[in-house]
Amino acid sequence: MKQSFISKLKKIQRKTNSLLCIGLDTDVLKVPEFLFKYEDPQYEFNRRIIDATKDLVCAYKINTAFYEAVGEHCWYTVHHTLARIPEEIITIGDGKRGDIGNSAEKQAHQFCFDWEFAATTVNPYMGKEAVEPFLQRRDQCAFVLAVTSNKSAKDFQYLNVKGKPLYEHVVAQAKKWNTKKNVGLVVGATKPEELKRIRKIVPDMPLLIPGIGAQKGDLESTVRYGCDKHGELAIINIGRGIIYSSEGDNFAERAREAAIKYRDQINAYREQYF
């Protein structure tokens, strides 16, 4: 029997001593020119980032839109990228899907069976049926969007419902859906107060926290409020702030330096607060 998602996550976070997740949101327009001599420049970019950072992370997050925008070749790029990531590291397919039952099953087929990501991101607007197909296997986690890192998150997520913001109702439902212990939540690092509130409601759930780096989320409060009581179970995603550290041939080396810097900052805060 495969280990549960949470066991796998804890194991890798302890092994690499890292809560860092690198976002492989590889924009083909930003890939250094020398990689265009290869057949698949996006993959070549990812391969070098993975090889240079795999001892520093607990997870890689692939926002599939960056690949799907390139066309049919995305299938190979995603598969090849996933094959390059060591088995013990968490892979997150960030597609923000969700649909009525029979359609969501097809979406889950793509992410959980074909690509076989260890985790996915799912939009809760359509309710439980939209999320359920992503929760079939206990070794695969669905991160439900609760508070997103963008500015217009407030358009709906903060609306007051019975004295509480909408996102807390999402959190409450996600707790109910968590019968297999494979539900997580997405909470933006740009929203530290919300992170604090949510961690109190779900002390043992994995939280995927984007928004550090280009989006300017606060790392100290992300670590302090995002972790469980053992200083674990937060997956702190940094994409552009690491992978685009240099535009030159040395991009992977620079990405490694940035990853070390972030990992160490995160660990310094972990020591301070846990």
**Hey, which residues are catalytic here?**
96
CB 97 within 8 A of CB 132: no
Distance in angstroms (rounded) separating the CA atoms of residues 33 and 104: 38
Handedness of CA 251, 92, 120, 144 (dihedral sign): negative
Rounded to whole angstroms, how far apart are CA atoms 74 and 228? Answer: 35
Tell me the closest approach of the beta carbon of residue 248 to a second copy, in angstroms.
22
Place of tokens 């790392």: 219
Query: Closest distance between a second copy and the C-beta of residue 160, in Å?
Result: 6
CA 145 to chain centre: 11
Beta-bridge partner residues of 237? 21
- Residue 191: CB partners within 8 Å, gap ≥ 6? 147, 149, 153, 211, 217
The binding site for a second copy (CB under 8 A) comprises 25, 27, 63, 65-66, 68-69, 71-76, 96-104, 106-107, 109-110, 114, 123-130, 145, 148-157, 159-162, 166, 169-170, 173, 215
Interstrand relation of 141-147 and 207-209 (parallel, antiparallel or unpaired): unpaired
Task: Check residue 269 and report its DSSP letter.
Answer: H
